[in-house]
Chain A
Amino acid sequence: MNLLFLLHQTICGALAAAGFGVLFNIGFRSLPWCMVSGALALSTRTCCLEAFGWNLEASSFAAALMVGTAVLAVRKRADISQNALDVVGCIPMVPGSFAAKAILGLFALTSTDSAEAAQTLTTAVQFTVRVMFTVGAIGTGLAIPALLLRVRVSR
């Protein structure tokens, strides 16, 4: 695995998380936690994609699971809601570009001729399915640590 590429992805994840942290009105003192959350998400996802050869959906799930677990561990020290820290960390992994391409593909169906329509539809559906699975993987990965902890506490 290219370590320079891993570092690039990690820094970009941290910056994106911090930027969204400001958008979500998180105080400046808590922004380093957002950066750590985003860096952890992107470094884990990149490792899974590049070193283990997993697909995007599985890598996103692993990264969300890692972020969800880490956030549970530090939530008391961070003085920031678990939900917010989870979301800012994982937001750089939300496949917004796939979603845009999927919807634009569906728009394009109205203007393409019948020869190209099948290909356009297939591509749009592929993007849609990938968006659904990736977003589902992120949500499930974030939910599992919290649900497991609560089961243990309630016993």
Chain B
Amino acid sequence: MPEDESPTPALEPIAMVALDAGRLLMEAGASARSIDAIVMTFARGLGADRVDLRVGYASLAVTIGIGPNGITRMREVGHLGVNQRLDQELWHLAERVERHELTTEQARAELTRVATKTPRHSTWVMGVAVGLACAAFGRLLKVDWAGTGPVFVAAAIGQVVRRDLLGRHMNVFVCATVVAFVSSALGGLGAHWEHSQTVTMAMIASILLLVPGVPCVNAQSDIIEGHPTLGSARAVTVAVVLIFVALGLWLAQTLLSHLEIPT
């Protein structure tokens, strides 16, 4: 019998904490490589010898082992958004776990704190920032100066509406259509009233807040880095979002043509 026999850590809590870290990072907009890395860091930092992760679009599954024992656990993943500050906080926590500063229970408590306490920008700050971004986008798309102001206002209102609708748990695809309709109709009407010569481009610039840039880049990096299933699922989601956005734009164009505004 070995003299330095130490109690083996329980596998179940380690697996669930590691999966929770991966789930939160995935919901914050990370690629499969990052999710794999953080689950690995948490599991090994909490005492696991072997870690194997499967990253799916809507779930994560991990097999961890210590010595001759091993278990496999799965965790559902929620809506995939983008939250960079949460991403940062999770990596800072992962560094502490890697240095063995936390027990499994402390790591679980810290994960809960990070998930609930990480601040977000206020609705109005986001509205102004998104308005500015879309106005700059508009200039890149050759929208004239008369159309730039309406793009700013329309995109800012669109962002406020989007946050409100998502807060009411509206389906993301339907939300994309509603916001695209509101923003492009406002952008088009405003540009027309300001005598812009680029009404159509102003309408398009007003909805660029809805372009799913992060899933689009993640889809490609996932495929390139050996996760074709997840990458393909992300790519299909991007395509469907774009169809729903275009539907909103088409509805707004139809409305403006009924008002005899050329688009």
Contact = CB atoms under 8 A, between A and B. Distances in A.
A139 B217 contact: yes
7 contacts: A16-B140, A19-B133, A21-B84, A81-B30, A87-B213, A94-B211, A107-B247
Describe A's contact surface by its main secondary structure: helix
Contact of B207 (A17, A90, A100, A142): A100
A26 B85 contact: yes
Describe B's contact surface by its main secondary structure: helix
Interface of A: 8-9, 11-13, 15-27, 30, 42, 79-81, 83-84, 86-87, 90-92, 94, 96-97, 99-101, 103-104, 107, 135-136, 138-140, 142-143, 147
A13 B136 contact: yes
> Which bucket holds chain B's interface residue count?
35 or more
Contact of B130 (A22, A101, A103, A147): A22
A149 B137 CA distance: 32
Given A23-B209, A91-B213, A16 B137 contact: yes
B83 A81 contact: no
B208 interface: yes
Nearest to B121: A22
B85 A27 contact: yes
B250 A84 contact: no
A18 B135 CA distance: 12
A8 B138 CA distance: 12
